[in-house]
Amino acid sequence: MIDRPTFWLVVVVLGVGTYLIRLSFLGLLGNRPLPLWLVRCLRYTAVAVLPALVAPAILWPPATAGAFDPVRLGAIAVTILAGVLTRNMIAAIGAGGLSFYLLPLVIAA
């Protein structure tokens, strides 16, 4: 267990660090035009965040202790296919969630 002074020191340091990171973009660069190459790179940030959050749970699922899981891979395939066909993130997430729920029933039958 971490002692209280160390805990609060970590909380304050992380808070100040987060504030400085945000200040660097919002405060210092807020009124200036960004270079075109940076704008193009930042456009893909939102698209990259969701896969970056989901990829570890797919590649090394804690529920299976990192073992291969055909249900998860099938749900991934359905999610990607729905996303490509519909170009709608909500539809892709819904299709992936539904397939993750239904695939164990189909595979077990």
pTM for this one? 0.57
CA distances from 53 to 33, 46, 56, 101, 108 (A): 30, 11, 7, 20, 29
Q: Give the pLDDT confidence of 22-47 residue by residue, as tens digits.
A: 888 777 777 788 889 988 988 888 88
What is the secondary structure of 60-81 as a DSSP string? S-GGGTT---HHHHHHHHHHHH
Closest C-alpha to 74, from 50, 108, 97: 97
Q: Is the pLDDT higher at 97 or at 68?
A: 97
Extract the runs of DSSP E, i.e. beta strands, from the chain.
Answer: none
